[in-house]
Amino acid sequence: MNGFLIVNGLSGLLIVSSLLVTLAGNPANSARFYALQSFILVMLFVALAGATGSGELYLWSFTALLTKVILVPAIMYRAFRRLSDPAIGTGAVMPTALSIVGAAVALILCFVVASKVTLPAADAIKPALAVSLALFFIGLACIVAQRNILKQVFGYCLMENGSHLTLALLAPNAPELVEIGIATDAIFAVVVMAALGSRIFDTLHTLDARQLTSLKG
């Protein structure tokens, strides 16, 4: 049972780290915090593997370490470091305090939804399940309430981490190939977004989503 306690405890740290990613001052710092969050996720996978005795999860932890902790943050850090648009500041649309309150409300709502799931596999890990769903919505909020297009990319990454955690919690014995499929796709998504973001900056000299409004109607 202790294993599941660690899982639920670590999931709390995921919420904190997701707020750090969202509220970081610039995209390069967000990349650092994202690597931190992914590392917590990997720890969580290892704890879950220990608690459920799933061999596949150990493999997952390893691939997640390679892709989410090292590869994706490195790609983003390298691509985003040289791009900066001082005009938009942090790019946040909402005050920090409101963002934190919003995250808390999302978490409570997700607890309500998770409590209604009747799957036997979900019994011991309902708090973590609620966190995984909340992580998904915090990611969404990061995209909607962010003017900096590069930080919107992190929103997608948070959403993807949320889905990934749900998958690990509910189906710890999922074939490794499933997990590799998701991870690979996410890498390509980040590469394409980073490439497009860089081209936008090179052509338009801005990272502000509010400047991208020539198409209307």
Partner 1 sequence: MTAMVPSILPPLLLIGPLAVALFLLTLPWFRESLPEAFATDKGSVTLLERIHLGSVGYVFLLSIAALIQVLSSGAIAAFGDWLFVDALGAVFMMLIGVVGLMTGLYSIAYIRHDLESGAIDAGKVRIYYGFFSLFLFTMLLAVTANNIIMMWAAIEATTLGSAFLVGLYGQKSSLEAAWKYVIICTVGVAFGLYGTVLVFSNAADVLADPHQAVLWTALVGHAAELDPMLVKLAFVFALIGFGTKAGIFPMHAWLPDAHSEAPSPVSGLLSGVLLKCALLIVVRFYVITVGTVGTGFPQMLLLTLGVLSVGVSSLLFFVQQDLKRKLAYSSIENVGLIVVALGVGGPLGIAAALLHAINHSVTKALFFCSAGNVLMKYGTRDLRAVKGILRVAPATGLLMMGCALALAGFPPFNIFVSEFMVFMAGLNEGYGWIMALCALFLCITIAGLVRIVADSVLGKSPETMAKGDVGWKALAPLGVLAVLVLTLGFAVPQPLSTLVQQATTVVMNGDSRPVVAAPWQQYDTVRAGGQLVTGSLSQTEISK
Residues that bind partner 1 (CB under 8 A): 113, 116-121, 136, 139-140, 143, 149, 152, 155-156, 159-160, 162-163, 166-167, 169-171, 173-175, 178, 181-182, 184-185, 188-189, 192-193, 196-197, 199-200, 203-204, 212-215, 217
Which CB, 78 or 185, lies closer to partner 1?
185
**Least distance (Å) between residue 160 CB and partner 1:** 6
Which CB, 95 or 205, lies closer to partner 1?
205
**Least distance (Å) between residue 187 CB and partner 1:** 10
Cα R_g (the chain), whole angstroms: 18
**Least distance (Å) between residue 97 CB and partner 1:** 25
Which CB, 40 or 143, lies closer to partner 1?
143
Which CB, 58 or 156, lies closer to partner 1?
156
**Least distance (Å) between residue 111 CB and partner 1:** 15
**Three-state SS annotation for the chain:** CHHHHHHHHHHHHHHHHHHHHHHCCCHHHHHHHHHHHHHHHHHHHHHHHHHHCCHHHHHHHHHHHHHHHHHHHHHHHHHHHCCCCHHHCCCECCCHHHHHHHHHHHHHHHHHHHHCCCCHHHHHHHHHHHHHHHHHHHHHHHHHCECEHHHHHHHHHHHHHHHHHHHHHHCCCCCHHHHHHHHHHHHHHHHHHHHHHHHHHHHHCCCEHHHCCCCCC
| Paired tokens of 140 | 């969404």
Which CB, 95 or 202, lies closer to partner 1?
202
Which CB, 1 or 215, lies closer to partner 1?
215
